[in-house]
Structure 1
């Protein structure tokens, strides 16, 4: 019985009494060798059951893996089919548009060839495009250079003759002929079945009918490469995972992502077929997958069998190991004792054991090293101990009495210890009771740590904290720290206390409205609610917030507020704010804004002053006409030669001229009137019309013509119309002056004003205003300085026009630029353009 491992003996508590008695009687009748053999059957049965479970589990995993691979192949095949379908539909829409332009005669043969070139260059899957008549005669054909074989395969007047796909029965009509007749009969785009060209290229066609006034006048043919569709529109991640093929109705491979060389004819274990829409005429997309788990499973099962066999051998050797277990346990006990002793000797913390009377019974090497006394000099000593300083005998005796009575503080006690050479050091001692195996206390265990260096560092930190607090107290900015959970003011410097008092209300006012921040709870809120619970403290403390400016009405001050989260000294999450008084800067900015507004009004007045003579001439025409009409009416009335109809006609003309003069005066008053900039929904066409109406006075005086183009259906702008009119008027006046000063002939005395929508990666959707003149242009040094304030190329210029134009455009978040126009190396004009961002009217409400 002693040879049987204990773990294989039947438990006397697990078997009922009678079966247990029978089993014990039977077991005692067996020989020790037979008992050992029976005991060995336990691990053997366990191994067999475990092996069966492993095989079943891997069989289940293999089945699941095959099913997942099948679903992955199906999903990737459908994704590839969707990509090809979307591309074909997009191309079909473009072909229908080109066909519509052909039937409406919007394009001729040369233009069609240009559109076909552009269409094929942007679509590598397109082999050729042909414009056929109703008799299938090519008018214009284009073949992509990537698919040219010894010249273009289509020539005007030559009918393409592709051969039927190999493996199919010969038919009387070719695939292009069948698609042409179907498009003619159905009056809608038709896709042909795939076929092979004489050059060996697998292609198919889409023929779009050309319908002119319900009459069939031909087709527009686009020919696709099957291999290009597969290469460009099957996602790369799909190709990396599975094989993809395009096949015809006879299961013949037209294109494939799998190399079709020797040894590549292995039938894939998983495949999924789906027709390619919108072609649908025998073009099939097939996804292929291969199971790779068979070798892995077989290899795993092999190593599992080897491991389980080794485990079985190890279990059968358990009886033999049991005989050696006692010796091993004894050796392990000795090794454990030596290890614990070595661990105690290597500790930096001094350990001292005392009995209930205070006699030292044990000290480790670290304790001896700290005090300088050897183990023999300390063990067996009663108080007073050799390492007690003479001047602290009474204090140390009192502390020892506390230790022996179990009243030492949990945080330890700080004492002075004297070394054998008489030097002192600071130490902290912790006392805990010694309990034996029976639960009885046999003494006290004291651990001692040298804290001299730590105490010195603590004193330095205290001094550093005092200096840091002094610096913060001397700052002119308000610095405050508030606990996020409780809303408690943890720190506030002198400036904060002067401005906001000694509570957290000022901090809350400054911090409210920060984007991405949580409002701090007031002190009277429920402290149990954690407003930032679950958020990672590390990310919060690393992330800051954008600075903002806050106005405090009670102080009549503006503050630049910067905030961030931090972990307070006790581990709580806190928010720190630094509020700097920027009231003086804000006042200066407001004054600068007022000066800029006055400069804008001054610029408008200067512009109208320069145009004064032209304005007087413009007003003189309607006033002279009014005078002439009135004198004529008076003369004819006195002569009695004027009837009622003639009088009414003359009075209507007089009133019309008076309205014209009033409109001129109203536009000038509106332009020069001083008002606050007011952004409102405005239409670009109305702004241009008002600006041109004012500019025409100056243009007519200088004999300069203007051509205006404003695009249709422009979106609404959110601008100040008067300021934008000021920019346009300044640019038009400058262009007219440049043309007039250059004394250009009448054929070149013209200005072009264009307003068009534009989209750029930098600005997004904008509306571009451009003023182009045919003057002498600008010098390079002028281009670099023309926006500087008070810089002007005119002898009587103030140098504020273009500077104000730039300020106005940039205040509307736009950009202004100037460039010379060249004909070769000769400057033939100059173009000023500025952009305004597009904002819908709904965004303003």
Structure 2
């Protein structure tokens, strides 16, 4: 016997059983809860639609069953009416037969009674008195009877005319009906044979002939004829009278079944030879029921569609919310981690937002700044009026696109320089709601820029202040490799002045007898002994200038390996005049001349200092534009700042490089990767090209050998050529789609040696033919604002690496469509790395891909 459970335990179990589904529901994730919450109404609607369909189908089947019962009942009723009518006519014919058998009437009386019956009952077409030998004794036929029924007394019936019914009536001694007679083209008829007896013997028959069509018209009740398609058929399903519907018009029990709504019964007493069949007419459909079904179905389908649409909209909304949350978190993280200060003002000049970087720069918290109006706490006291005027310009939309520099005061009272950029703050509806200001601390970049500018000015001043003409030219050639300002002032840019000074000084050697090098006429000469020899001085008088010059010559190996001669000409006219005036003082005076070697550095200083400054400016402009457009990540910003710092460091290193260059006059070669050099050059040059809307297409061949070069100098050459290409395209006024620069780096074969060929192709207007010879001259430029030192420096760098540089115009027929600057560096260089230099590691795939 089981112990009775305590009431408390039962209540606890019931509570747990009632709430288990709540715990299950709460454990489901929100996405699945939304799915179940949407599927439940959808399932309910589908079940409702199924219930409506089942109910309507059930009611329709019930209605069809009732219609089938009505058809059966009406056909049975019509068969009974037709049977009674035949039995009545049979009784009347049997009465006539009894009178004939009793010899109560004669032939004339028979015809009279037959006429009365035919006239009274239209379906009865003819009545005949037949003796036992098939002879017609008397006959009466309806005027409308067919010709075969219009018999004459005395004629004899054939067996085919009675269809065996005469013999059957004789044998059975009772009324017999024949099979329906339906000859081709004849009106179907039915014969009834009523036997005659005389003293117990067969004496013939009274034959009545019915029109089957008349039986249908007068024997079937009119209400049945009006309700159904009624027909009399034989046992071979031939329609004898009436008509049946076509299969497409028959009312079927079910729309998808082939069974029609009909009923057929044999007509008694004829038997199975005559069948009464009725079919239900195709009446109009149940518009109300069917319409209700389709309305309910359409509403249910609409509800299902709306539920599915709501489900899909809910899922999209959840996804959008998740994406919005992720985007908001990402933007908040990006704003919190960026180094640029952001400040938002409303249209009245009230601070509405500051990011952590802005608070970190100024030292004030967000709560202390938001809601403040001018004057702001980070404004220096002495700049209040200036900053107030700038704020008015900012609120009125008169701020400069390039930004402006301001001084900002920190909370501790210290001052730092900053650059601020202002842009409209527009809401999603396109309405301006305020102004967004970005602030960057430029104290350190400004200091570096000022130092670089001062250093550049010092070196420029030194070079421009030289009072001696310095020139370098290959032996026996008019080509000028270098000329300073004083030389250009005295002799112009050609090499005739250099050659004249050499000839006047008498230090011009003769060329070798066998000119084996088309580039250098003095190839094969003992350059080592010449360059190791000391310099030679000579005082000459130049009639064109009317001056006495002290000419100092020295042989040297040029940066491209060729033998060259340097001439330093100092104006000693005053001294010579003084010597002529005071001979004694002339003997005791010592020739005061200076060996100036910094002339060669003029173009290098100007260009190398300009490169890092340009790179710093481009990086800053790029960061500013991307910050303004809010499409720069922290990693990209840090990368750009790091590169800016490295360019500043590079500018500082230039000074050290120049000092070393003065002592050595040679590049600092190292085994360098070509792809890395190209990648570094593209990173600097592409900034300016993108600003000019010029498309750069680089191609770097795979597996290039490392080169023994100074990588910074080679990068400088590439950057200068790429920038010149972009400026040439802009000067040509090419449409944006035709602004293309192609950089190709590939191995080649030049002057019987393996080299790496660098070529830069642009789509500008090319170089005029008359300027090609002078394009490498110092301080000569095809641009109105050009310094004229870029290509000169490029040539010096390439030749210092024992390479060559050349330029050629690109033609399309007679039209110049571009220009190609190319230079090559030998793979097996005669340069050697400094002590401690080792071959670099191969370039990383990312660097190579970026270079491409």
Q: So what's the TM-score if we normalise by structure 2?
A: 0.31
Q: So what's the TM-score if we normalise by structure 1?
A: 0.32
Structure with bigger RCO (C-alpha 8 Å, 6+ apart)? 2
